[in-house]
Amino acid sequence: MRRSSLLAAALVLLFATAAQARQEVTKTYCMSLLGRKADAAQVKAELLLGAKRMAVAELFGEMVSSLSRVKDFTLSEDEVSAASAGYIRLAGDPVYRNGPDFGEVCVTITAYAEDEDFRKLKPVTLSGKKCLADPNLTTARLKEAALSQALSEALLRYEPGLEGVSRKRLGKLVHQVKLVKAGFLPETETYCVEFEAQVFPVEVAAALSSKSKAVEPAPLVRTLPASAFSASTVYGNDTPNYGPQNSRLTETATFSNWSAAVNDGNQWLQADLGQPATLCAISTLGRAVQYNQFVTEYKVSYSLDGAAWTFVKSGDTPIVFAGNRERLVEVRHDFPEPITARYVRIHPVGWNEHITLRWELWGAYEKD
C-alpha cells in the first residue's frame, strides 16, 4: 500500500511538473480585406502573426510588459511582443475561415510555450575581465576603454553572431553593469576591470535580426497606394486636393500636398507600409506649388500593429527633427538606430504659414 501511494504521489508530481513546463492557449484573430490589395500568402502571414501576438499577451503577459520598463532597454513593448511571437509554438495547423463581418477573414490557432521559451525572456548574467595599458590615456579614460572592451568581448562570447554589430549597439545590450574590481596592477601601468551585467536574449535576437536585414536603403513611400495613407485631419475636408495620398515626396502635380485642417501640435500623417520594414531615415519637403508652406520641426512615431506606438527617441526623450527651411529643398535625417515598423507617423511640431508636407521613408522590407 505504501509503495502504491508513493507511486501515485510521484505521478502527480510528474504531471504537475509537465503542466508547468507547457502552457497552452487558443486564440482567434480576424482582419478585414475591404480596400486591401494583398495575395493569399501575405494575408495568411498577417493573420498568423496577429494570432501569435494575442497568444504572446496571454502566455508571457507581465514578462513582456516588464521588459520594456527596464532602464535603457532598447526595444519597445510592442517590439518585444513581436519578437516574442517567435517563441510561440503551434499545436496542429492554423484554421482559416471567413469572419462574421462582410469582407472579414479569421484564423484560429492553438499555441503553447515551453519552459525554454519563458527563459528566453529572462535576463542572463554576463561577467568578464579586461586589462589595458596606455600611457596616453587618463585613468578615467583607461577605465572606460577597458570596461567597453570587456563588455563587447563578453557579449561576443555569449553570442558570436553579434560580430560586426557596432560597439555603440553592443553597449546598449548590457544592463545593470556592476564593477566587481577596478584598478592598476601593482607597480604597473596596466589597468584592469572585472564586471557583472545583465543581457536579455530577446534583445540580442533583435540585434541579430537587424544585422541580418542590413541592406541598401530604398525609398518606400513613393510606391505605396493611396489607400496606405491617412491623417489626423484634411484641410477643408477636401481629400482630392489636400489629402494624405498627395504626401509622396515625388508628388508635384496636385493642387496641394497633404495639408492639415488646423495648425496645432495634434496633427499627424501616417503611412501603412503593408508589411514590416527596417527603416533608417526620413526625408521631408514643403508644398510643391503656389504657397510657401512647410513643416519646420516634427517627431516620428512607429508601430507594428497600428495600436501600440513608440516615438523615435534619443535615450528616453522623443527626438524633434529639424524640418524644412525652404519648401523645395529636401531635408533628410538618419534615425539613431534602425527601427522596425509597418506603420509610421510624422507629427508636425513647427511650421511655416500652414502644416503642409511631403515625405519619404528610407529602408527595406524584412526578408523572409
pTM exceeding 0.85:
no
Kindly state whether residue 8 falls inside one of the protein's structural domains: no
77 lies in the same domain as 133:
no
- Specify whether 192 is located in the same domain as 293: no
103 with 174, same domain: the answer is: no
Domain that holds residue 21: 14-119
Cell of 265: 501640435
pLDDT digits (tens, 9 = 90+) for 322-346: 999 999 999 999 998 888 899 999 9
The radius of gyration of the chain from alpha carbons, rounded to an integer in Å, stands at 26
Q: Are residues 188 and 308 part of one domain?
A: no
Report pLDDT digits (tens) over 10-69: 334 433 433 446 889 999 999 888 866 667 887 888 898 889 889 988 888 877 777 767
pLDDT confidence of residue 224: 95
The CATH number that applies at residue 246 is: 2.60.120.260
Q: Tell me which of 313 and 209 has the higher pLDDT.
A: 313
Residue 210 covered by a domain: no
Q: Is residue 3 part of a domain?
A: no
Residue at which a domain ends, from 199, 232, 251: 199
Amino acid, res. 171: G
Q: Is residue 204 part of a domain?
A: no
Q: Are residues 66 and 170 in the same domain?
A: no
DSSP characters over 308-333: S-EE-EETTEE--EE--SSTTS-EEE
Whether 9 maps to a domain, the answer reads no
Which of 84, 119, 154 is the last residue in one of the domains? Answer: 119
pLDDT digits (tens, 9 = 90+) for 149-186: 999 999 999 999 888 777 777 888 898 899 999 999 99
Of residues 320, 323, 362, the one with CA closest to residue 341: 362
Q: How many domains does the chain have?
A: 3
Do 329 and 278 share a structural domain? yes
Residue 7's pLDDT is 37
pLDDT of residue 69: 75
Within-domain flag for 98: yes
Same domain, yes or no: 152 and 286: no
Instruction: Answer whether residue 105 is part of any domain.
Output: yes
5 occurs within a structural domain: no
For residue 189, the tally of other CB atoms under 10 A from its CB is 12
Which tens digits make up the pLDDT trace of 203-258? 888 777 766 655 568 999 999 999 999 999 999 999 999 999 999 999 998 999 99
What is residue 202's predicted lDDT score, i.e. its pLDDT? 85
How high is the pLDDT of residue 14?
36
User: Are 267 and 350 in a shared domain?
Assistant: yes
Are 244 and 308 in the same domain? Answer: yes
Q: What is the mean pLDDT of the chain?
A: 86
Q: Which of 119, 135, 152 delimits the end of a domain?
A: 119
Residue with cell 490589395: 37
Query: Taking the CA of residue 53 as centre, how many other CA atoms within 13 Å lie in the half-sphere pointing to its CB?
Result: 19
CB 48 within 8 Å of CB 107? yes
**Whether residue 283 has pLDDT greater than 70:** yes
**Cα 65 from Cα 81, distance rounded (Å):** 9
Are residues 156 and 270 part of one domain?
no
| H-helix or E-strand spanning residue 236 | none
CATH of the domain at 132: 3.30.1660
Residue recorded with cell 484560429 = 108
Sign for the CA dihedral angle at 118, 365, 285, 281 comes to: positive
DSSP string, 66-128: HHHTSTT--S-HHHHHHHHGGG-EESS--EEEE-SSTTEEEEEEEEEEEHHHHHTTS-EEEEE
189 and 233, same domain (yes or no) = no
pLDDT, residue 193, reads: 95
**What is the reported pLDDT for 45?**
84
- Which grid cell is 285? 519637403
Residue 269 backbone phi and psi in degrees, to 5: -125, 135
Same domain? 52 vs 190: no
1-10, 43-52, 93-102, 186-195: least confident range = 1-10
Above 70 in pLDDT, residue 1?
A: no
User: CA–CA separation, 171 vs 313, rounded Å?
Assistant: 17
